[in-house]
Amino acid sequence: MSLRLGYGTNGLTDLRLDDALGLLAGLGYDGVGLTLDHMHLDPLAPELAARTQRVARRLAELGLGVTVETGARYVLDPRRKHGPSLLDPDPDGRAARTALLVTAVQVAADLGAHAVHCFSGIVPAGTDTDTAWKRLEEALTPVLDAADAADIPLAFEPEPGQLVSRLDDFHRLRHLLGDPDPLGLTLDIGHCQCLETAPPADCVRDAAPWLRHVQIEDMRRGVHEHLPFGDGEIDFPPVLDALAATGYQGLTVVELPRHSHAGPELARTSLDFLRTAGATP
């Protein structure tokens, strides 16, 4: 079974969105991980519905699938990376993040996306862990309600350094929320190499029932740095074989957010690498 490969627009921020989508289609990608940000479908700018419709038409013209990603660094606060988060001490801050994620669900529905990606945020200074989990539960519930109504999976990503940082934390969240149908998993293969005890291929097999989105890049053990393929320590053929064996139907998106300066070339070489490593038969 072939994997459906995509590339994240957070690694193409020097390109206009139309140009980025055309580039990916021309290279032969199956889809795109679309980060809602000021340069690519700003979720806070006026006339979002009309702009989303134009992007939907462009995706359809190019035959690209899409996942909506919500990892824009400064989309809500120009001074705080990924702030405010779902764990923010300020209730209005948490509400702003919740509202952004609800908007992302609507955008995903309008685009025909296969999932919306999100994450918890880091635990704020002075906040105990139990309080952080309670805030996450409360702030995420309206997003899950919106995802359920729109029939769009919410793909939650364990992120190094955050409250939900490992697969065990994802399962804690799932049980805390009562295992709601819309809640699935974003599995980042590099994060598995970075933090998890099991090898990445085993992580894929363990996560298979909850997979709704996959991000992929190279990484080294204990170092949270997204690297081009071949610059890290991951043995990719077993990972790709494990992914294919799960029957996962969503996109597997290359995630290189710090490499936009070389985005077009890395998009080309990444696709070549994944094909050679066995992502396509």
pTM of the complete model beyond 0.85: yes
**For position 164, what pLDDT does the model report?**
98
Architecture of domain 4-277: Alpha-Beta Barrel (3.20)
Mean pLDDT score across all residues of the chain: 97
Q: Report the pLDDT value the prediction gives residue 182, as an integer from 0 to 100.
A: 97
Question: Sign of the C-alpha dihedral, residues 170, 172, 175, 177?
Answer: negative
User: Cis (ω within 30 of 0) for the bond into 84?
Assistant: yes
CA distances (Å), origin 202, targets 59, 112, 229, 245: 33, 31, 19, 12
Mean pLDDT value of segment 150-157: 98
**Domain range summary for the chain, segments of one domain joined by +:** 4-277
Q: Does the pLDDT of residue 36 top 70, yes or no? A: yes
* Cβ(154)–Cβ(144) below 8 Å: yes
Phi-psi region of 5 (alpha: psi -120 to 50; beta: other; left: phi over 0): beta
Question: Where is pLDDT greater, at 279 or 277?
Answer: 277
E strands, the chain, in order:
4-8, 31-35, 65-69, 116-118, 154-156, 183-188, 211-216, 218-220, 223-227, 251-254
More confident residue, 12 or 1: 12
Tell me the pairing of strands 211-216 and 251-254. parallel
Kindly state the tokens that stand for 265.
């070339």
